[in-house]
Amino acid sequence: MPRHIRFTVAALCLVLLGAHRLAAQEYKVVVNSANPASEFSSDAVSKIFLKTVSKFPEGGAATPVEPAKSSPARAAFAKTVLGRTVQNLDTYWQQQIFSGKDVPPANKATDDDVIAFVKGNPGAIGYVSGTAAVAGVKVVTVK
């Protein structure tokens, strides 16, 4: 392979890696401080927020909560963890509601509201902007 093509491919890989890290910094996933987990797979978190499972991988009941639809953290989380846009999620939840399967996770107006909900509910899991103060809850890694 010619040198300039290798350089271009390497540069593109670095840009994509940087974009992934930036997206990950746009939100923090938080759980109640009593939750023993320190990390979850992206698949496990996705299933909790799409409500295809109702328990954490360790077995405790999971109650997802989300910030407002207009939150940049919501768009980043939807894309990175759920593999969807916020608009795609609206369609998904309309179908779930219409078929009588489930309703979307609770929405809170602000990061502080999400944190207060998670802090007050042992099985709660939510996400907030990457710059939010997260006192009283535990930030978990999503891999």
Terminus-to-terminus CA distance in the chain, angstroms?
33
Q: Where are the domains of the chain?
A: 27-142
Closest CA to 30 of 71, 68, 2, 63: 63
Residues 6+ positions from 70 with CB-CB distance below 8 Å: none
pLDDT tens for the chain, 143 residues long, are 566 555 444 444 444 444 444 444 799 999 999 999 999 999 999 999 999 999 999 889 999 999 999 999 999 999 999 999 999 999 999 999 999 999 999 999 999 999 999 999 999 999 999 999 999 999 999 99
* Rounded Cα distance, 25 and 41, in Å: 17
Residue pair 29/115 in contact (Cβ under 8 Å)? The answer is no
pTM metric for this prediction = 0.81
Q: For domain 27-142, give the CATH number.
A: 3.40.190.10
Whether the CB-CB separation of 134 and 128 falls below 8 Å is answered with yes
Residue 59 contacts residue 36 (beta carbons within 8 Å): no
Distance CA 101, CA 67 (A): 22
Query: What is the C-alpha separation between 113 and 99, in angstroms, rounded?
Result: 30
Strand partners, 55: 61
